[in-house]
Amino acid sequence: MTKLTSPSEIEKLMRRYDLRFHKRFGQNFLIDENILNRIADAAEISLSDSVLEIGSGIGTLTQALALRAKKVTTVEIDTRLIPVLNETLSEYNNIRLVNSDFLRCDLSDLGFSQDESIKVAANLPYYVTTPIIMTLLESDLSIKRMTFLVQKEVGERLAAKPGTKAYGSLTVAARYYADCEKCFDVPASAFMPKPRVDSSVIVLTRRPATYEPADKKVFFTIVKAAFLNRRKTLINSLMGNTAYDRETLIAAMTAVGIDPGVRGERLTGETFAELADQLTGKIK
């Protein structure tokens, strides 16, 4: 079996299939076996688990997941890598390889049953990290735990607390659906080719929402608008990025007990939900 964390073996594979690393797809392959095993450990996968992986690459993480899981469904966008994966994953009979853009595929076509318990593990391409995470969080798939290798900055944003520099709309949106834990950092030297930034491993544990705004669309609109101009006060950010007028916003904030001069980074998800409920139905 080819050792997929070996730079020399990766180079041989690339030459054999006449491949180049594709920046468009954010291809940075993990070459640190210790970190690979730590990621698989963080995913807490057992032989009774079904696993979804996004971004197969050359199959490095896929192999580690297949050794621990009942079955693995792995989705790879780059058609050029499919022959490579057919080779590197040939010894495993519990892997389903899907050649597709995850953000465009119908999740119901991935082969999971409605009541099937799913865990997700992935080395996510940096350029589509946020839409992939939100797609999974908002999906109807029965996902319990998601373990991602992401850009360090994104990991900090997901795990941030209110009032900190990293806290933002992604933090609030993700926390609506799940608890987030940052596990450990991964240096750029652990990849081939080496990216310009370090990475982090984060775990999202799905749970029922702890609060339920009357209109989720209004809630997410308010959250997004609050952080579009981080240096502005909440009232000015919402006036500049939503259709609500100053009088309406002041009335809603007063009802919730929010100082209009505060910045969005000071509000918890629960407070954003209360504000959204005050604003629901205010625009005809």
CB 274 within 8 A of CB 254: no
For residue 211, being part of any structural domain is answered with: no
119: β partners: 51, 145
Task: Tell me how far apart the alpha carbons of residues 253 and 259 are, in angstroms, rounded to a whole number.
Answer: 7
Residues 236, 98 share a domain = no
Q: Domain check: are 241 and 136 in the same one?
A: no
Claim to verify: residue 170 and residue 275 sit in the same structural domain: no
Say which residues have a Cβ less than 8 Å from residue 74's Cβ, sequence separation at least 6.
52, 53, 54, 56, 59, 62, 65, 85, 95, 96, 97, 98
116 and 195 belong to one structural domain: yes
pLDDT of residue 26: 72
Domain check: are 99 and 159 in the same one?
A: yes
pLDDT tens, residue order, the chain (284 aa):
678 999 999 999 999 999 888 766 678 899 999 999 999 999 999 999 999 999 999 999 999 999 999 999 999 999 999 999 999 999 999 999 999 999 999 998 898 987 788 999 999 988 899 999 999 999 989 999 999 999 999 999 999 999 999 999 999 999 999 999 999 999 999 999 999 999 999 999 999 988 999 999 999 999 999 999 988 999 999 999 999 999 999 999 999 999 999 999 999 999 999 999 999 987 74
Rounded to the nearest 10°, the torsion over CA 63, 64, 69, 74 is -50
CA atoms within 13 A on the CB side of 232: 13
Contacts of residue 219, defined as CB under 8 A and 6 or more positions apart, other chains included, come to 176, 213, 272, 273, 276
Which pairing describes strands 199-206 and 143-151: parallel, antiparallel, or unpaired?
A: antiparallel
Q: How far apart are CA 194 and CA 228, in angstroms?
A: 31
Give the pLDDT confidence score for residue 8 in this predicted structure. 94
Interatomic CA distance for residues 154 and 126, integer angstroms: 9
User: Of 182, 206, 230, which marks where a domain is finished?
Assistant: 206
Is the Cβ–Cβ distance between 147 and 39 less than 8 Å?
Answer: yes
**Using omega within 30 degrees of 0 as the cis cutoff, is the peptide bond preceding 193 cis?**
yes
Q: Is residue 71 part of a domain?
A: yes
What is the separation of C-alpha 277 from the centre of its chain, rounded to a whole number of angstroms? Answer: 27
pTM of the predicted protein model: 0.93
Q: Do 196 and 78 share a structural domain? A: yes
Q: Residue 85 sits in a domain of what CATH number?
A: 3.40.50.150
Looking at the structure, tell me whether residues 116 and 67 fall in a common domain: yes
Enter the tokens of residue 139: 């999906």
Residue 191 φ/ψ, nearest 5 degrees: -120, 160
pLDDT at residue number 115 = 77
What is the pLDDT at residue 19?
87
Q: What's the number of domains the chain is made of? A: 2
CA-closest candidate to residue 77, choices 60, 95, 54 = 54
Based on the domain organization, do 94 and 150 belong to the same domain? Answer: yes
**CA distance to 22, 123, 189, 244, 254, per residue, from 56 (Å):** 14, 8, 20, 44, 50
Rounded to whole angstroms, the Cα distance separating 109 from 113 reads 10
Reduced to 3 states, what is the DSSP secondary structure of residue 29?
Answer: strand
Range of the domain at 242: 216-279
Query: Any bridge partners for residue 143, and if so which?
Result: 118
144-179: per-residue pLDDT in tens? 999 999 999 999 999 999 999 999 999 999 999 999
Give tens-digit pLDDT for 26-59: 788 999 999 999 999 999 999 999 999 999 999 9
Residues 115 and 17 in one domain: yes
Domain contains 92: yes
